[in-house]
Every structure is written in structure tokens, then in C-alpha cells.
Amino acid sequence: MEYQDECDFIPDVRDGLNRVERLILYVLSETQKELGGRNVPTAMLYGRVVEHINMSEAELHVFLDRLGVKGSTF
């Protein structure tokens, strides 16, 4: 994963989120608003996240697991 600087790794004292986690949650929130509150497919989220930061799909899943984001079960 390519990061801009070391600040990407440092958790914020307010909530413990680092810059990458905050970006993922922001993109998730904005995309969910666009979809009228519906669930956001992981592929769509990944496509929008990589517009901001370079990461693999596996790395995104690690962050989503850490953030407690769960997909729907069928």
C-alpha cells in the first residue's frame, strides 16, 4: 500500500482512527447517501476508495474487518 506520509498510520487521539480508516468511512458514508441509504457493494466501495489512495482489495478488507463493517449474509 502506498501512503503519502507517516501520518497515515498514526491513530487520532479523538477516536483512534487513522487517516486511511477515516477516508474509508467517509467514502462509505457518501456512497451510501448516493444510493439512498442502501448497502454499498464492496466492489463499488473499493473503486471509490482507490480514487483517493492506492491499496489492494485485500488491504481494504483488512480495514473493513478492523472497522467492524460487515456485509449482508444470505
In this predicted model, what pLDDT tens digit does every residue of 12-49 receive, in sequence order? 777 888 899 999 999 999 999 999 999 999 999 999 99
Nearest residue to 49 (alpha-carbon basis) of 26, 67, 33, 71 = 26
In the predicted structure, residue 74 carries a pLDDT above the cut 50: no
28 within 8 A of 67, measured Cβ to Cβ: no
Binned at pLDDT 50, 70 and 90, residue 10 comes out as confident
16 — alpha (psi -120 to 50), left (phi > 0) or beta? left
Handedness of CA 9, 58, 35, 48 (dihedral sign): positive
Residues recorded for the chain: 74
